[in-house]
């Protein structure tokens, strides 16, 4: 029986197959992506470098000698590799458990193909069991908590010790429980236009086209 960590290593290595030699690769954030970054070091001579979705991933890439480019300095990216907190049968995801959702969505939007790497615990039929991360402007926090309550959700400010966690963009995160997101495209569009929301952690407009799912029987490739 493989551990969750071993499943993450498997899918991190399997994702190398999707990296286009000679190109710049989009790199997400999280413990599964860390396995991918470590594996990517083995082909660093074959790629130009990476566009990163967080300070943490940038530091890991640079430590391994992989050049990191500003998103504004490059055009379309051939492939974006990232994890997910939940993924459904259509490639729609909840992301942001690592608080990097805004930059993740930016790099995903700049990429032709999103390859999600996840262990099988992340596969769901309906999104919403994992608390939905939403990056918000702190001034809007209390009103947004009330707006989520009107949808049946309970939103809490994510803390780091005694103070709210501050994202790479200088904002806060709300984690929302109690939602069943049956129409991810419509939900993402609606919440994204609430004043004060920077990014909602539903990735439906930026869904995955491929999911490499780590299972006890090996890596399964799901395509959408
Ligand atoms: C970070 C993310 C991650 O992709 C998500 O939280 C999954 O992380 P992990 O691979 O550690 O389970 O969205 O903001």
Looking at residue 1, its pLDDT comes to 81
Ligand 1 centroid from CA 99, angstroms:
8
Ligand 1 centroid from CA 152, angstroms:
25
Looking at residue 96, its pLDDT comes to 98
DSSP state of 191: H
For the chain, how are helix, strand and coil distributed in percent, rounded to 5? 35, 30, 35
Ligand 1 centroid from CA 167, angstroms:
14
What is the domain partition of the chain in residue ranges? 4-124+205-223, 132-196
- Taking the CA of residue 30 as reference, the ligand 1 atom at the shortest distance is 11
Handedness of CA 166, 171, 172, 176 (dihedral sign): negative
Cβ of 18: how many Cβ atoms within 10 Å? 17
Q: Which residues pair with 119 in a beta bridge?
A: 214
Residues with CB under 6 A from ligand 1: 28-32, 82-85, 95-101, 104
Contact between residue 148 and residue 155 where contact means Cβ atoms under 8 Å apart? yes
Entry pTM:
0.97
Same fold, 4-124+205-223 and 132-196: no
- Taking the CA of residue 32 as reference, the ligand 1 atom at the shortest distance is 10
Spatial CB neighbours of 97, under 8 Å, sequence gap ≥ 6: 30, 85, 130, 133
Question: Which residues in the chain land under pLDDT 50?
Answer: none
CATH architecture of structural domain 4-124+205-223: 3-Layer(aba) Sandwich (3.40)
- 59 catalytic, yes or no? no
Spatial CB neighbours of 126, under 8 Å, sequence gap ≥ 6: 88, 180, 181, 182
Looking at residue 19, its pLDDT comes to 98
Looking at residue 61, its pLDDT comes to 98
Ligand 1 centroid from CA 34, angstroms:
10
Please name the fold of domain 132-196.
Answer: Alpha-Beta Plaits (3.30.70)
Mutate to test the pocket of ligand 1, among 32, 37, 39 (most ligand atoms within 8 A of CB): 32
Contact between residue 111 and residue 82 where contact means Cβ atoms under 8 Å apart? no
């Amino acid at each position: 029986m493989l551990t969750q960590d071993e499943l993450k290593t498997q899918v991190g290595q399997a994702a190398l197959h999707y990296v286009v030699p000679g190109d710049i690769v989009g790199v997400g954030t999280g413990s599964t992506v860390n396995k991918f970054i470590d594996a990517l070091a083995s082909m660093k001579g074959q790629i130009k470098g990476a566009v990163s979705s967080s300070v943490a991933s940038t530091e890991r890439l640079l430590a391994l000698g992989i050049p990191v480019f500003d998103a504004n300095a490059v055009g379309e990216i051939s492939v974006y590799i990232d994890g997910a907190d939940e993924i459904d049968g259509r490639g729609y995801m909840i992301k942001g458990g690592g608080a990097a959702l805004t930059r993740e969505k930016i790099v995903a939007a700049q990429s032709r193909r999103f390859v999600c790497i996840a262990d099988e615990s992340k596969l769901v039929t309906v999104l919403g069991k994992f608390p939905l991360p939403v990056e918000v402007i702190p001034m809007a926090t209390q009103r947004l908590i009330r707006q989520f309550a009107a949808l049946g959700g309970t939103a809490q400010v994510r803390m780091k010790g005694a103070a709210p966690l501050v994202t790479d963009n200088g904002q806060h995160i709300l984690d929302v429980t109690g939602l069943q997101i049956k129409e991810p495209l419509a939900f993402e569009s609606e919440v994204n236009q609430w004043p004060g929301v920077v990014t909602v952690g539903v990735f439906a407009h930026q869904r995955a086209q491929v999911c490499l799912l780590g299972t006890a029987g090996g890596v399964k490739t799901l395509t959408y």
